Amino acid sequence: MSRFNLKCPDKVNFPLTLFNKIDIFQVNMVTEEIKKRAKQLRKQIEYHNYRYYILDKPEITDAEYDKLFDELVELEKRFPELVTLDSPTQRVGAPPLEKFGTVRHALPMLSLNKATTAEEFNDFHRRVSELLANKGGEINYTVEPKFDGLAVELIYKNGLFVTGSTRGDGITGEDVTVNLRTINSIPLRLNNAPVLLEVRGEVIMFKSQFNKLNENRLRAGEEPFANPRNAAAGSVRQLDSKITASRPLQFFAYGIGTISGMSFNSHFETMMYLKQIGFIVNEHISKLDNIKEVKRYYTRILELRDSLDYDIDGIVIKVDNYHQQHIIGELSRSPRWAIAWKFPPQQVTTVIEDIKVQVGRTGILTPVAHLKPIRVGGVTVSRASLHNEDELKRKDIKIGDMVIIQRAGDVIPEVVKVIKSKRNGTEKSFSMPSACPVCGSKTIRIEGEVAVRCINPYCRAQLVERIFHYASKPAMDIEGLGYKTVEMLVEKGFINDIADLYKIPEHKEEILKMERTGEKWFSNLVRALENSKHPQLENLIYALGIRNVGEHLASVIAKRFGSIDNLKKQSKEQLTRVNEIGPVVAESIIAFFKDKRNIKILNKLMEYGVTFPTSEIATGTGKLSGKNFVLTGTLKGYTRQQATKEIEKYGGRVTSSVSKNTDYVIAGSDPGSKYDKALELGVNILSEEEFKNLLSD
Ligand code: IVH
C-alpha cells in the first residue's frame, strides 16, 4: 500500500566490474543490468529523500547520499534514454519557459469563508448543525493550521506526478509542473496509487530557511523578500525552474480534488492516506467531536504560532464526514462545510527611537517611526509609517515612546497605540518640519488636506521618487534601476529630471565606479532604456507622474484623448466630461501641462528619442465612454457581436479578460471562470436584465 515499506530498498552495491566494462568498450547500449541499477538507485534515493524531507529522520550521511545521486546522474548522462519523469535527478529544473501554460482544475479550487471571532465561529457551527439537523448524525470537525503560502494542485496519473498548477482564479491556474517537480517533499511517483489522484496543498518556505535566503540575497546585493509567503509564491512562479530548484520550498498537503479508483469516507481518513503514501501532512491535524474542543485547539495553536518554523494565520475547520459535507454543500466560491478562523494580527511592543520625515514623489512629507528592530509575524520590523500629522496627534505619539505595533499578513506594520504608563518624562514631542528635510524649501499644508508638502519640484527626494516611478513596471518598465541606484545617480548629479535617464550611457565610466554596478548590469540597463523609448500611451501618461493620475486613470485618459498633444489642449470642462475624471484630477492635468518645466521635460524626452504614441480614441462620448466590459455566458436577447456593438455604440469597450480595469461583467447563463474572477476582484456583475436597463437608461 505504502510508497515506502520503510525498509531501505535493496542496498547491494552494483558490481564495479560492469562500469569497468562500459569504460573499456565504450558500450552505449543500455543493458538490462544497467536499467536495473538505475531503477534501484532511483528507489534508494527516493527512499532517502522521504527519510530526510518528509520524516526528518535521515539514515545516511549527506556524502553517502551524494554518492548515490552522482552515480545516477552519471548513468543518465551516458544513457539519456534511462531518464524518467520521476527520476530524482529531474528535480534540478528544466530549461526556462517563455510563459506559463494554463491548467483548468477538474474541480474548482475553492476558497474559505472567514471567522475572526469565537462568535463568528459559533455562527458557522450553528449553520452547519441546522443544515445537518435530522440528517447526519454526530458532527466531527477536522482542524488544522491555516498555512500562509501558495495553494497548488498536483495531479498524479497511475502514480506518476504529471501536472502541477497554482490555484489561479480557482477555475484555471498556471502550469508550474516543472517548478513543483524541484520541490523535494513532492513525491514524483506514488506506489499503489489510484488511477487518478489530485492532491491539494500549500507550498511554503520555512522561516529559518527564509531568513538564510534573505541574508544571502542581501549579501549578493539583491532585494530581500518581504516575508516567507512572498518568497514561496515568487519562487514557484518563476519561468526559470532552476531558480525554483535553488529555493528551499516545502509542500504541505491539505486535501484532494478528483480521485478515481479509490474512495474515502472522511477528510481525516484521506489525510492519513496522503501521509501514508509519502506527503507531508501537518503534525497538528486533529479530529475533534465538539466545538469546545475546537476552541481549545484554536487557543493552543495560537500559543504555538511563534514557535512554529512556518507562518500560519489561523486554523481551518472542516466538517470531517464527506457525506455530511455533501449535504451541507457549497457556494460558488467557498464551501459551507469549512471555515478559516483567523488569528488576530500579531502585536509586539517596541520603542520609537526616532521619527523621521520621508518626501514622496509629489512632495508629500510622511512621518516615519524608526523602531528598535523587532520580529513580528516572521519578519524584522524597524520602520512604521505614521501617515500624517493628524494621525500622529490622534495617537499622541512621541519619540522615546513604548508602543504596540502590529502586522497583519504582509500588510505594512502600523503603530496601534502608545503605552502611556511606560512614559518617564524623557519622551520628546514631534511636529512636522516647516522646511523640507531634503531641500530646505518651505513646506505647506493646503487647507482641507491632511498632507504637508514640499512644493519645490526640484527637490532631490521628489526627483528620486519621480524617476523611480517613471522606471517602474506599469510605467516605462526600465529594469535594473533599484531605488538605491537612482538615489546615487541623482546624488552624483547625473540625473536632474526623468529625461536625463536617457543620458545614462554618456556617463558610463563614472557610473561604473559607483557601488552596486557592473558591466553586465550597465549594458542591460542601456538596453532597457532603449526598449522603453516606444511606450504605450497609457504607460507614458502614468509614467509622467501627473498628480492624482494612477494606472487606471492613465488608461482611461489614453483611451479617451488618444495622444499627449490632444490631452494638453483640453479644458477643465472637457476633461470632466469623462466619467471618471473629477475636478481634482482635471486640475492636476491642467496644472501639469501649464508648468513650463514639464513642457521642457516632454520636449527633452522627444529629443532623446522617446516616441509619444497615439491610441485610438474610444468612439463616441456616449454614456458608457471609458467603461470596460467583459461578456461571459450565454445571453438570451443578444449574440456576442450584438452585445459588443451595443456597448461600443455608447462609447464602451469590450475586452476578453477580467482585470481590475474591468468596469462591468455581463453574465449570461452558464458563466465561466470570468464570473469567478469578477467576484474575486469585486467587479460589478450585471445580469442580462440589468445590462438592458443600463443601455436604455
Ligand atoms: S482547505 C475548500 N486547508 O487557504 C477548502 N486551505 O481561503 C479549501 N489554506 O487557497 C482549502 N491552509 O491556500 C485548506 N489547512 C488548509 C489551508 C488552506 C491554508 C489556504 C489555501 C486556500 C485558502 C482558502
Residue range 191-228, pLDDT digits in tens: 888 999 999 999 999 999 999 998 888 887 777 887 89
Q: What are the strands of the beta sheet with 114-115, ordered from one edge? A: 114-115, 338-342, 312-319, 141-147, 286-288
State residue 7's pLDDT score: 45
CA–CA distances in Å: residue 86 to residues 38, 81, 160, 163: 12, 13, 7, 12
Torsion angles phi and psi, residue 197, rounded to 5: -145, 125
With a 6 Å cutoff on the Cβ, whether 167 touches ligand 1 is yes
State residue 679's pLDDT score: 85
Cell 548513468 belongs to 75
Model confidence band, residue 601 (pLDDT cutoffs 50, 70, 90): very high
Q: Which residues pair with 453 in a beta bridge?
A: 364, 444
Domain with CATH 1.10.287.610 in the chain: 17-91
Domain with CATH 1.10.150.20 in the chain: 460-531, 537-607
State the distance from the centre of ligand 1 to the C-alpha of 100, rounded, in angstroms. 23
Measured by CA distance, the residue closest to atom 17 of ligand 1 is: 146
State residue 618's pLDDT score: 59
Measured by CA distance, the residue closest to atom 14 of ligand 1 is: 254
Smallest CA-to-CA distance from 632 within 696, 675, 602 is with 675
Measured by CA distance, the residue closest to atom 13 of ligand 1 is: 151
Q: Which three cell numbers stand for residue 679?
A: 467576484
Q: Which three cell numbers stand for residue 646?
A: 451595443
Q: Looking at the domain that runs over 460-531, which CATH code has it been given?
A: 1.10.150.20
Which of 105, 144, 146 has most ligand 1 atoms within 8 Å of CB, for mutation? 146
- What is the CATH architecture of 628-696? 3-Layer(aba) Sandwich (3.40)
State the distance from the centre of ligand 1 to the C-alpha of 112, rounded, in angstroms. 7
CATH T-level assignment (fold) for domain 347-444: OB fold (Dihydrolipoamide Acetyltransferase, E2P) (2.40.50)
Domain with CATH 3.40.50.10190 in the chain: 628-696
Average pLDDT value for residue range 585-606: 95
Average pLDDT value for residue range 477-482: 89
State residue 146's pLDDT score: 97
What is the percentage of the chain residues whose pLDDT exceeds 90?
Answer: 59
What is the distance between the alpha carbons of residues 210 and 236, in angstroms, rounded to a whole number?
14
Q: What's the whole-model pTM score?
A: 0.63
Average pLDDT value for residue range 445-456: 88
With a 6 Å cutoff on the Cβ, whether 79 touches ligand 1 is no
- The number of residues making up the chain comes to 697
Residue type, 498: I
State residue 659's pLDDT score: 85
State residue 15's pLDDT score: 40
Domain 537-607 has CATH 3.20.20.70: no
| Ligand 1 atom closest to residue 202's alpha carbon, by position in its atom list | 13
Domain 114-342 has CATH 3.30.470.30: yes
Measured by CA distance, the residue closest to atom 15 of ligand 1 is: 146
Is residue 1 over pLDDT 60? no
Torsion angles phi and psi, residue 583, rounded to 5: -60, -35
Model confidence band, residue 482 (pLDDT cutoffs 50, 70, 90): confident
Average pLDDT value for residue range 47-68: 89
With a 6 Å cutoff on the Cβ, whether 159 touches ligand 1 is no
Is residue 574 over pLDDT 60? yes
Active site residues: 146
What is the distance between the alpha carbons of residues 624 and 560, in angstroms, rounded to a whole number?
11
- Taking a C-beta distance cutoff of 8 angstroms, is the pair 511, 522 a contact? yes
Q: Which of 343-347, 440-444, 679-683 has the highest mean pLDDT?
A: 440-444
| Ligand 1 atom closest to residue 144's alpha carbon, by position in its atom list | 15
With a 6 Å cutoff on the Cβ, whether 313 touches ligand 1 is no
The per-residue pLDDT for range 282-300, each reduced to its tens digit, is 999 999 999 999 999 999 9
Average pLDDT value for residue range 468-483: 91
Average pLDDT value for residue range 406-430: 87
CATH class of the region 17-91: mainly alpha
What is the distance between the alpha carbons of residues 276 and 69, in angstroms, rounded to a whole number?
25
Task: Give the number of other CB atoms < 10 A from CB of residue 298.
Answer: 19
* Residue predicted with more confidence, 661 or 348: 348
State residue 458's pLDDT score: 82
Q: Which residues pair with 477 in a beta bridge?
A: none
Is residue 496 over pLDDT 80? yes
What is the distance between the alpha carbons of residues 603 and 485, in angstroms, rounded to a whole number?
25
Task: Write the DSSP assignment of 130-184 as a string of letters.
Answer: HHHTTTS----EEEEEEE-SEEEEEEEETTEEEEEEE-TTSSEEEB-HHHHTT-T
Domain with CATH 3.30.470.30 in the chain: 114-342
Measured by CA distance, the residue closest to atom 2 of ligand 1 is: 110
Model confidence band, residue 9 (pLDDT cutoffs 50, 70, 90): low
State the distance from the centre of ligand 1 to the C-alpha of 255, rounded, in angstroms. 9
Model confidence band, residue 378 (pLDDT cutoffs 50, 70, 90): low
Q: Check residue 81 and report its DSSP letter.
A: G
Which of 124, 148, 202 has most ligand 1 atoms within 8 Å of CB, for mutation? 202
Is residue 478 over pLDDT 50? yes
What integer best gives the mean pLDDT of the chain?
88
Cell 541499477 belongs to 37
Measured by CA distance, the residue closest to atom 3 of ligand 1 is: 254
With a 6 Å cutoff on the Cβ, whether 144 touches ligand 1 is yes
Residue type, 301: I
Q: Which residues pair with 286 in a beta bridge?
A: 143
Q: Which three cell numbers stand for residue 449?
A: 488636506
Q: Are strands 628-632 and 653-654 parallel, antiparallel or unpaired?
A: parallel
With a 6 Å cutoff on the Cβ, whether 147 touches ligand 1 is yes
